[in-house]
Chains A and B, each alone.
Chain A
């Protein structure tokens, strides 16, 4: 499984944008970039995924670097409910059926 690197923790303020970085320098051309989050005492929740182009959905935006060696999850206007652990996951052809969760980034939102 290709490896991702994320900061252990980040902090932001309510109603401000949040940019969560992820490095994946060994990504291959066919790996998808997925983001999930896990709120306290809950199951993981799908956020967004992409391959090469930037992606937007109702929850967030995903900005993928041109060389695909890094990506950024953008929460446009953070709320207290966005406090969670955010996981950046690469999905390759060999291990496509599973999600490999690393340590993720613990996001704290200040009121």
Chain B
């Protein structure tokens, strides 16, 4: 059981370039999430998908798009990267979005935009 996997682990982009961060989970979870963590800060929710076929904005969605490709996979796209998007990106999954469910996190993607 790999849990939540993310690719790539590291990425450097120039301002204006685009890229897609990939996330997959093998726990048959319904819900998936994308967070970002800036240095010395807590995580902030970018987008989430409560179930296959649905996506919703979180706290900081501007500059990002997401795709719930199937039940296992949830991707995050930066269409035109900006230095303010330099951060560590974490994907997570859970059985549901209710407040009694725990979330399981991937190892993160460290993104630098120059």
Contact = CB atoms under 8 A, between A and B. Distances in A.
Interface of A: 30-32, 34, 42-46, 49, 51, 87, 91-93, 96-104
Nearest to A103: B42
Contacts, number: 57
A97 B92 CA distance: 11
B33 interface: yes
A96 B104 contact: no
Contacts of A49: 100, 102
B21 interface: no
Contacts of B48: 97-98
Interface in B63-101: 90, 92, 97-100
A45 B105 contact: yes
A97 B108 contact: no
Interface of A is mostly: loop
A73 B97 CA distance: 23
A6 to B, nearest CB: 12
B34 to A, nearest CB: 11
A101 B35 CA distance: 11
A43 B98 contact: no
Contact of B106 (A43, A99, A103): A43
B99 A44 contact: no
Contacts of B92: 43-44
A91 B103 CA distance: 12
B102 A46 contact: yes
14 contacts: A32-B99, A42-B107, A43-B92, A43-B106, A44-B43, A44-B103, A44-B105, A51-B100, A96-B99, A97-B50, A99-B43, A99-B103, A102-B42, A104-B42
